[in-house]
Structures are given as structure tokens and as C-alpha cells.
Amino acid sequence: MPWPYEFVIGWRYTRAGRAARRNGFISFISAVSMLGIALGVAALIIVLSVMNGFQKEVRDRMLGVLAHVEVLAADGGALPDWRRTAEVVQRHLQVRAVAPFVAEQGLLARGQDMKGVLVRGVDPALEPAVTALGAELATHALGQLQPAGFGVVLGAALARQLGVGVGDAVTLIVPSGQLTPAGVLPRLRQLTVVGLFDSGHYEYDATLALLHLDDAQRLFRVEGPTGVRVRLQDLHAARAVAVELEAALQADGQYGVAVRDWTRANRTWFAAVQLEKRMMFIILTLIVAVAAFNLVSTLVMTVTDKRADIAILRTLGASPGSVMAIFVVQGAVVGVVGTLAGLLLGLGVAFNIDTLVPALERLLGMRFLPQDIYLISRMPSDPQAADIVPIALIALGLAFVATVYPSWRASRVDPAEALRYE
């Protein structure tokens, strides 16, 4: 089946500039438009893939330390009956494991160095079932935490900042002081470093200290765990499960508890990433729009150059719609080729960014992601069809829209007027 003549002529006009010297500039503008669309589409895919990868990487490492859901005492103190709370929580079908914990703030000192830390008291027997970090430390560091032993497991970055290693002593300063004749004095306790961990998330590696649950209760003078940590079958169901657990606890008569899932615990960070992703999508889409609308000038010049051809086609019986279709095809070819080239380039970079970025870092002698600023040290990438498909459709849509006005102008050319000076 032969191609429609509108398509054949439109395709010929797209390629004609290379052969005809007088159309060289038009062909150059057309190539620039095609290149602009390709680079804009590729930039969108690469940036959004990196942002998706960054969000996924940080989320996974964050959830290696955090529980999917936490049940806390509403007043910030100890749970009235944590075992009863854990029993109610474990009835939910999504719950895989439960472990008690104590979470408080403190200061760790080593000589003149002093760092603020989040002190977390954990049960070495139950913690490995709740977090990936606990499972990783189960075979060595957590086993060294014994009741009344006052051992501590520190993040690797925190240990480096304090200049300590396994076997060294550090001093924990507890905020709640003790009353003496000289006034209120902070309480101090010497701890022995029994292990180190590296979660891959700088914020936790630089601020988290793990103690045995009994030692934490004794140091902070709480009568029991301040909360229960929960691991779920599906981490994405955490928000819905948290609501259901809160309702179940209230139905059981436990009104002094608050349920918090991992998305709410870090909602500021996740909201910021989503806002940045939307803004980057809008900004980079404008790049594609500028390149697409370069087609307007290209097609306007082409229409001016082809006025005699248009007039001959009209005298041979071509309708205004057919003339319009010819130039729509010409612009569409540029848009389709540019979009496909951008997809190939963007996906090629996005899927190989883990090898391209280290090569660039070695070549330029610099680090793109300092770990103490960006939480992770390598450039992640996670191309998702939910981003790539809209990008391709928007680029194609903008290219087609850009062809409408010049094509309409071509269909309005008067054959007699166009042939008068030929």
C-alpha cells in the first residue's frame, strides 16, 4: 500500500535542505530544533531518574535504621504496659515483628570533644527482627550489649568525630540532672564502645548511639520502654496500618499512645524531594518547549521558500487540508526523531550513571556528592516509566502544536499570488 502523497512530500521537504544549497539554513535550524528536543528530553529523563534514585536510596538506608511504624507514649514518657501494647499490635496481619525501645537525647564526650547524640536503648534479642541495621549487627555488636554492662555501639562517623574505637571509653551526659547542695548537676556515665556500625546514611552514622534497653532505662530514669518499634510486611502500607493500629489500641482502652509511621516521621524531607522533583520537571519541560517552538520559525521559513510548490500543488487539485498535512508531517518528523534520540540518550545515561559519574569524578578530581552534605556518596539512578512516558508524550505534543500555525499559513497561500513573480 503506497504512502499518502502528503507524507511523501513532507518527508522530502524534511530531507531536501541537505541537498539544496539555498535551503541549507532552514535545514540547520531544523537540526537545531531536533537537537534541542533530544537534549531536553534526555535532561528530563536523567534528572528525574537521579532524583528517583536519590529518594529510593535514602529511603532504603533510612528504613535500615528506622522502623516502619512506632508506637510511642503520648506524654513522651514510658508506655504504661508495653507488653499489652505489643500484643495488640501483633494481631494486625501486616505486622511481622515488634521490639521495645527507649529513645532519648544526650551528649557524648571524649576529652575536649563533645557531640549531641540520639541514644536508643534496644533489646538485642528482638531488635534484629525489626530493622535491617539490627539484623546486620546481630552476630557481633548487639551481642556485646549486656544488662548493666553499659556498653555502647556507635555510628562509624560519630566514632571518627570523637576519635574512638572499639574498647575505648566515652562519657554520656544525660540532660535530666540530679539535685545536689550545689544545685542541679548533669548526670554522667562512662560507657565502653563495644561495636561500630555503618548504615550508609550519614545522619544516623554521625548521631546514633545504641545501648542495652535496661541500661537506657536506668540512665534516663524511665520505668519502661518509651515505645514499640514495628516491622511490616509491606512498608508502603505503613500509613494505613498506623491508622488501623491507633484505632485498635484505642479500642483496647490505650488512649495514652501515639502511632507514627516512617512517612510522617520524615515527611518534611520527602515533601521537599517531591517539590524539587516537580519544579525540575517544569523547568526542564520549558527547555523542551523552547526547542519545540523553534519548529515554528523553521516551518515559517519553509513555507515562504515553498510558496511556488504550494501553488502548483493547489492548481493540481490539492486541498488546503492536504497542504497543511504536508507541513505537519515535516514538523512531526523533527519532533519524533528528536524525542526518540532524547529517549535513547537519556535512558543510556540513566542506566549507566553508576559508571559514568565515577569516571567523571576521577577525570575532574572532585566529588559530586560529599557524604556529609548529601547523606549518600554515590550517584543513584532509578528510571521509572511513570516519568518517562509523560516526558515523551509532552515532547511529541509540543512538537505537534508548534506545527499548527505554520501549516495553517501554508494552507492559506493564494496560488495566483504565489506564481505571479515566478
pLDDT of res. 21: 47
Please give the helix or strand (H or E) that residue 69 lies within, else none: strand 69-73
- In whole angstroms, give the CA distance from residue 321 to residue 411: 7
Q: What is the pLDDT of residues 244-253, one digit of tens each?
A: 998 888 888 8
Query: 369 is in which domain, residue-wise?
Result: 5-61+269-419
- Beta strands 69-73; 227-232: pairing state: antiparallel
- Mean local confidence (pLDDT), 204-216: 90
Q: Identify the domain boundary among 200, 229, 262.
A: 262
Residues 121, 14 share a domain: no
- 231 close to 96: Cβ distance less than 8 angstroms: yes
Residues 11, 45 share a domain: yes
- Residues paired with 71 in a beta bridge: 228, 259
Residue 256 corresponds to which cell in the numbers above? Answer: 495514652
Residues 329, 310 share a domain: yes
Residues 25, 165 share a domain: no
Confidence of residue 230 (pLDDT cuts 50, 70, 90): very high
Judged on CB neighbours under 10 Å (0-12, 13-18, 19+), 131 is: buried
Q: Identify the domain boundary among 237, 262, 287.
A: 262
The runs of H, that is alpha helices, within 91-127 are: none
- Mean local confidence (pLDDT), 62-67: 83
Residues 284, 213 share a domain: no
pLDDT of 415 higher than 80: no
Q: What is the pLDDT of residues 10-25, one digit of tens each?
A: 667 666 544 444 555 5
What mean pLDDT value characterizes the chain? 81
Number of domains in the chain: 2
Residues 84, 213 share a domain: yes
